[in-house]
């Protein structure tokens, strides 16, 4: 476990970036700059739309669909999509695809079964998020869910011996403070709420979801480090386990009700929109996120919070009081500070310590810099239901 000294931090590890051939700012072409802005728009819309649409479908009057069936359908659609992408990579050759899957899934069964644990946690997390959004306003959930940054950072330090800069530790403290203020506002009765919604249940679900998000992502990176499997293969394997485990969870939680009313009970076009968004939104983000750096992803998260809040006011009559505005502002600032690249974090740290003299904890000459946090579940590049789709497996 890395320690943070009393002077300047010896390392400034930040969340990783899923990027390919990023250009230097001075050489960035107009086309690449345009793609960055498109990526920003996609990330913001994906981050906010899924939460808002789930909140909308879960608060409509009338028959309510079973959340467990939506989780299973999303896993099925994601798995089929990854299978089609692998089929396209094999240039439509069915024989080559079958041989490839036999080798990757069955022959290398140890690697396949390693994915059972994160898949179980992801399935649990997706169900917990339905519970949380059903009991919390969309804006409150969006703010509170940023605790996944804190849990991912802590698990990275504990399990991967990562070190964080002083600025990042300060931003995590700021993040926790902001979430606590928002939850205090919610507990204090921030506006009227339906009788069938329980903020305590929602808070418990979102905290459990954040804990599972951080652990599963770091665990996934730890067990698959050095693997040569492609991101689509890994997500196909996750989808297989996710479908099976989702069906087990469905049978355990709502089996009798589903058997009586039907698997697709309560499904409307809006519900299908949620399922499709959950299934394909992460795939879309996985395609565009390579054009986004950490600052852009942090900015997208901040804009998503603002968009969710504004939309909640218009759609659900959400009331923004000074306490919520303060907490949300602290969270937005913390997300931005945590996403700053190493050079910017160093510049801020050096500015803050310039009055007390030069830093004595510099990186020794000739020693390689510490590794950056790689992309995994719970990083800023993940939102909010499909982080496994954004995992960049080393060697892929």
**Of 245 and 394, more confident:** 245
pLDDT of 71 strictly over 50: yes
**Of 109 and 227, more confident:** 109
At 350 the pLDDT is 56
**What gap in Å lies between CA 88 and CA 79, rounded to an integer?**
14
Q: How confident is the model at residue 76 (pLDDT cuts 50, 70, 90)?
A: very high
**What gap in Å lies between CA 121 and CA 107, rounded to an integer?**
25
- pLDDT, one tens digit per residue, over 333-355 is 988 888 887 655 555 555 544 54
At 209 the pLDDT is 92
Per-domain boundaries in the chain: 38-55+63-185+197-346
- pLDDT, one tens digit per residue, over 28-38 is 577 777 777 78
**Of 94 and 19, more confident:** 94
- pLDDT, one tens digit per residue, over 174-225 is 999 999 998 887 776 655 556 567 888 999 999 999 999 889 888 877 776 6
Determine which of 25-29, 33-37, 382-386 has the lowest per-residue pLDDT on average.
382-386
pLDDT of 294 strictly over 90: no
**What gap in Å lies between CA 153 and CA 209, rounded to an integer?**
15
Q: What is the dihedral of CA 358, 362, 366, 368, to 10 degrees?
A: -150
**What gap in Å lies between CA 295 and CA 340, rounded to an integer?**
6
At 190 the pLDDT is 54
Q: How confident is the model at residue 27 (pLDDT cuts 50, 70, 90)?
A: very low
Residues above pLDDT 70, as percent of the chain: 72
Contact 377, 231 (CB under 8 A): no
**Of 257 and 340, more confident:** 257
Own/partner pairs, 32-39, CB within 8 angstroms, 24+ separation: 32/291, 35/288, 35/291, 36/291, 36/292, 36/296, 38/288, 38/291, 39/288, 39/289, 39/291, 39/292, 39/296
Contact 138, 308 (CB under 8 A): yes
Give, in order, the Cα–Cα distances in Å from 351 to each of 10, 14, 315, 346.
Answer: 16, 19, 44, 8
**What gap in Å lies between CA 216 and CA 236, rounded to an integer?**
17
DSSP 171-193: HHHHHHHHHHHHHHHHHTT-S--
* Max mean pLDDT range (82-96, 284-298, 362-376): 82-96
**What gap in Å lies between CA 86 and CA 106, rounded to an integer?**
16
**Of 353 and 60, more confident:** 60
Contact 322, 63 (CB under 8 A): no
pTM of the shown model:
0.72
At 262 the pLDDT is 93
**What gap in Å lies between CA 80 and CA 129, rounded to an integer?**
23
pLDDT (average), residues 60-69: 89
**Of 246 and 11, more confident:** 246
**Of 395 and 184, more confident:** 184
At 207 the pLDDT is 93
**What gap in Å lies between CA 376 and CA 25, rounded to an integer?**
25
At 286 the pLDDT is 65
């Amino acid at each position: 476990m890395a320690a943070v000294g009393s002077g300047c931090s010896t390392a400034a590890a930040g969340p990783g970036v899923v990027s390919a051939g990023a250009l230097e700012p001075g050489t960035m072409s107009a086309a690449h700059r345009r793609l960055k802005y498109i990526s920003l728009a996609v990330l913001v819309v994906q981050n906010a739309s899924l939460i808002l649409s789930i909140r909308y479908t879960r608060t409509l009057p009338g028959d309510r669909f079973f959340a467990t069936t939506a989780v299973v359908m999303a896993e099925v659609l994601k798995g089929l999509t990854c299978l089609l992408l692998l089929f396209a990579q094999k240039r439509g050759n069915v024989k080559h695809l079958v041989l490839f899957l036999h080798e990757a899934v069955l022959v290398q069964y140890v690697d396949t079964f390693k994915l059972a644990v994160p898949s179980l946690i992801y399935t649990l997390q997706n169900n917990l998020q339905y519970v949380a959004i059903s009991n919390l306003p969309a804006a409150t959930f969006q703010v509170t869910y940023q605790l996944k940054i804190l849990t991912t950072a802590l698990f990275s330090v504990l399990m991967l011996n990562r070190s964080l800069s002083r600025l990042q530790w300060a931003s995590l403290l700021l993040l926790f403070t902001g979430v606590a203020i928002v939850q205090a506002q919610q507990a204090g009765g921030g506006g009227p709420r339906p009788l069938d919604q329980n903020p305590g249940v929602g808070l418990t679900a979102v905290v459990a979801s954040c804990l599972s998000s951080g652990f599963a992502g770091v665990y996934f990176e730890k067990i698959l480090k050095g693997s040569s499997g492609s991101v689509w293969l890994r997500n196909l394997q996750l989808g297989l386990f996710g479908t099976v485990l989702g069906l087990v969870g469905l049978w355990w939680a709502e089996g009798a009700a589903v058997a009586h009313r039907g698997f697709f009970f309560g499904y409307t076009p809006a519900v299908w929109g949620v399922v499709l968004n959950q299934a394909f939104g992460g795939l879309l983000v996985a395609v565009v996120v390579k054009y986004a750096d950490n600052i852009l992803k942090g900015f997208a998260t901040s804009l998503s919070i603002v968009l969710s809040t504004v939309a909640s006011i218009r759609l659900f009559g959400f009331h923004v009081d000074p306490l919520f505005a303060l907490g949300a502002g602290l969270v937005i600032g913390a997300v931005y500070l945590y996403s700053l690249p190493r050079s910017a974090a160093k510049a801020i740290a050096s500015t803050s310590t310039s009055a007390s003299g030069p830093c004595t904890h510099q990186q020794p000459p000739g020693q390689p810099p510490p590794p950056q946090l790689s992309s995994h579940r719970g990083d800023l590049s993940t939102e909010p239901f499909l982080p496994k789709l954004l995992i960049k497996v080393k060697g892929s």
